[in-house]
Amino acid sequence: MTTDTAAVTATAGIARVNGVALNAPQESLTPEELRQRACTELLRQAALHAGLLDAADPAPTDGVISEAASDAIDSWLARELQQPAPSDEACRRHYAAHSARYRTGERVRVRHVLFAVTPAMDVVALRKRAEACLLDMRCHDGSPSDGFARAARELSNCPSGGHGGELGWLSAGDCAPEFARELFGHVEVGVLPRLVHSRFGLHVVEVLEREAGAAQPFEAVQGAVRMALSQQAYVTALRQCLQVLAGNAIVEGVALDAADSPLVQ
């Protein structure tokens, strides 16, 4: 079994998992979109081989699987990824290490420069532009000339760019979850030292002010803590499962992590 590490482009050919095409010859996909299709196809074939899906189920078109395939994948994952519930001790350790995440009423005042990802976007070039902006903002953090506002006006793909990137005061519920994770439960103020990834693209973010909110006792948030640990365990198990499936498949034209042993750590 081999995994081809070359990402496919619109002109580089067709990527396949065990001979099943993942894209049309002239279809333009980002490497991440192609990886997502490959992972879905690995799971669809696993459900097929387990007898949970009819052998006549059609191969996906444009990355869209059938409703029967979706249900079969859910059933296969429920069977294969059974996880023990996190112990009370593990929940308390997690809470002690991450208590700031469970404050209520936390708010941040932020501004950002958005480098939006669009279907035809050169993601590598976009990242380079975002990283160059981040470096420039980190080097001039707090400059009286306010280079951040200028960068937002000139570079940002968000309407807030016209206002220097200002998003105002935000609570966690105001943001996409992946954006909120980078802002809340931290103490950083100033330009964050990393690009923030969201469903909208890449963000250079400056935290202008923070309001810490009120601490919550473990007993009040233990349900949320237990769910967070369960989700972490599920994501880890799913990643390991996909690595094993990729290691036992013929994968062409798309980069996937693969492992030949089910004992992936």
pLDDT tens sequence across 171-191? 988 999 899 989 988 888 999
Residue 4: closest CA among 240, 238, 243, 258: 258
Q: According to the model, what pLDDT value does residue 6 have?
A: 38
Q: Are residues 125 and 32 in the same domain?
A: no
Q: Are residues 90 and 168 in the same domain?
A: no
Q: According to the model, what pLDDT value does residue 73 have?
A: 95
Is residue 11 scored above 60 in pLDDT?
no
Q: How confident is the model at residue 10 (pLDDT cuts 50, 70, 90)?
A: very low
Q: According to the model, what pLDDT value does residue 141 have?
A: 58
Residue where the block lists tokens 């444009």: 62
What pLDDT, in 10s, does the model give residues 67-116? Answer: 999 999 999 999 999 888 999 999 999 999 988 778 788 899 999 999 99
- The last residue of a domain, from among 175, 195, 211: 211
- The last residue of a domain, from among 165, 180, 211: 211
CATH of the domain at 200: 3.10.50.40
Is residue 5 scored above 50 in pLDDT?
no
Tell me which of 56 and 118 has the higher pLDDT.
Answer: 56
Spatial contact of 14 and 257, defined as CB atoms under 8 Å apart: no
Q: Are residues 201 and 241 in the same domain?
A: no
Q: Are residues 94 and 7 in the same domain?
A: yes
DSSP-derived secondary structure for 193-262: SSPEEETTEEEEEEEEEEE--B---HHHHHHHHHHHHHHHHHHHHHHHHHHHHHHTS-EESS-----SSS
Q: According to the model, what pLDDT value does residue 95 have?
A: 93
* Domain encompassing residue 190: 105-211
Q: According to the model, what pLDDT value does residue 145 have?
A: 53
Q: According to the model, what pLDDT value does residue 26 have?
A: 79
- Based on the structure, what is the number of domains in the chain? 2
Q: Are residues 140 and 121 in the same domain?
A: yes
Residue where the block lists tokens 């929940």: 91
Q: According to the model, what pLDDT value does residue 172 have?
A: 87
Length of the chain in terms of residues written? 265
Q: According to the model, what pLDDT value does residue 122 have?
A: 81
Tell me which of 30 and 87 has the higher pLDDT.
Answer: 87
Residue where the block lists tokens 């065990």: 18
- The last residue of a domain, from among 211, 227, 243: 211
Q: Considering the entire predicted model, what is its pTM? A: 0.59
In percent, how much of the chain has pLDDT > 90? Answer: 59
Q: Are residues 205 and 222 in the same domain?
A: no
Q: Are residues 151 and 196 in the same domain?
A: yes
Q: Are residues 170 and 110 in the same domain?
A: yes
Q: Are residues 19 and 85 in the same domain?
A: yes
What's the angle, vertex CA 198, arms to CA 70 and CA 27, rounded to 5?
Answer: 55
Q: Are residues 126 and 94 in the same domain?
A: no
Q: According to the model, what pLDDT value does residue 1 have?
A: 41
Q: How confident is the model at residue 2 (pLDDT cuts 50, 70, 90)?
A: very low
Q: Which residues pair with 108 in a beta bridge?
A: 170, 210
Is residue 144 scored above 80 in pLDDT?
no
Is residue 33 scored above 90 in pLDDT?
no
Cα 225 to chain centroid, rounded: 20
Q: Are residues 92 and 119 in the same domain?
A: no
Q: Are residues 1 and 96 in the same domain?
A: yes
What pLDDT, in 10s, does the model give residues 243-264? Answer: 999 999 999 998 888 654 443 3
The single-letter code of the amino acid at 116 is: A
Q: What is the overall mean pLDDT for the chain? A: 86
